[in-house]
Amino acid sequence: MQWHVWFTFFIAAWVIAISPGSGAVLSMSHGLSYGWKRSSATVFGLQLGLMLILVVAGAGVGSLLIASEAAFLTVKVVGALYLMYLGIRQFLQKPSSSQAINSAENTLTADKQLQPAKGGTLNWKQRVLTGFFTNATNPKGILFMVAVLPQFIDPNRSLLLQLLILGVTMCAVDSMVMNGYAASASLLSRWLKSYKAQLWQNRIFGGLLVAIGAGLLTVKRVQA
């Protein structure tokens, strides 16, 4: 792979990652709910899902999904319903009871107050899986990668090595961006400690996830 080809993909990766989407909303949502360090599990899951899409697109299976009406419809509906499920779950989630914070230095107490109510908290594995399925079932991601990835592949060079380079580049960039979203949201949470503020957080981000999920249902299959 030539240097200028990789650099062009590197720039494209930043544009793709920064563009608002389900991954960004999920990262910000978990950043607010769990803090930046704990939401790193969510970001890791997002990268696993993104890597799967890259492999699928690079292997040509993505083209098959686009060519098959039934396969594409299945992925689209599953992805949309999963995001809507996450959104409804968060929308209905009750925050923990608001307690007075007597000391600004008591980070542990503040962190506990920002956690979702018992029963709504996701453990590390669940946060990873949530991130994974959010990206892996995103038909827009498959469509985009199938359309864009071939532009950076040299048919005269090793496909596996090129996919590895592009995959590592894309995931590294996306990981930095998603962690940035989560960290920004985590910092914002310092001003959103009250019960009412947390309740509106859940409603806003839950509503956004439902809206994005509903939007996926409108994605059209590329005609062969």
Q: Which residue has the tokens 């230095």?
A: 105
Q: Inter-axis angle of helices 124-136 and 36-59, to 10 degrees?
A: 40
Residue 223 inside a domain? The answer is no
Number of domains in the chain: 1
Q: What is residue 172's predicted lDDT score, i.e. its pLDDT? A: 94
- pLDDT, tens digit, 9 for 90 and up, residues 202-223: 788 788 878 877 877 877 765 5
Residue 180 inside a domain? The answer is yes
Q: What is residue 192's predicted lDDT score, i.e. its pLDDT? A: 64
Residue 224 inside a domain? The answer is no
Residue 35 inside a domain? The answer is yes
Q: What is residue 180's predicted lDDT score, i.e. its pLDDT? A: 92
Residue 106 inside a domain? The answer is yes
Question: Mapping DSSP to helix (H, G, I), strand (E, B) and coil, where does residue 95 land?
Answer: strand
Residues of the chain with pLDDT under 70: 61-66, 95-120, 147-148, 150, 191-194, 221-224
Question: Mapping DSSP to helix (H, G, I), strand (E, B) and coil, where does residue 116 land?
Answer: strand
Q: What is residue 147's predicted lDDT score, i.e. its pLDDT? A: 66
Please give the C-alpha separations between residue 156 and each of 10, 32, 159, in angstroms, as whole numbers: 21, 47, 8
Residue 102 inside a domain? The answer is yes
Q: What is residue 49's predicted lDDT score, i.e. its pLDDT? A: 93
CB atoms within 10 A of CB 40: 23
Reported as half-sphere exposure (CB side, CA atoms, 13 A), residue 102 has a value of 0
Ranges of H-type helices in the chain: 3-18, 22-34, 36-59, 61-67, 69-92, 107-113, 124-136, 139-148, 159-188, 195-216
Residue 221 inside a domain? The answer is no
Q: Which residue has the tokens 């599990």?
A: 41
User: Model's pTM, two decimal places?
Assistant: 0.69
Domain range for residue 75? Answer: 3-15+22-216
* Residue 61 · residue 213 · CB < 8 Å: no
Which residues are bridge partners to 95 per DSSP?
116
Residue 137 inside a domain? The answer is yes
* Residue 87 · residue 206 · CB < 8 Å: yes
List the one residue out of 142, 135, 128 whose CA is nearest residue 49.
Answer: 135
Phi then psi for residue 43, to 5 deg, are: -65, -40
CA distance 146 to 58: 7
For residue 136, give both structure tokens.
């892996």
Q: What is residue 222's predicted lDDT score, i.e. its pLDDT? A: 58
* Residue 36 · residue 175 · CB < 8 Å: no
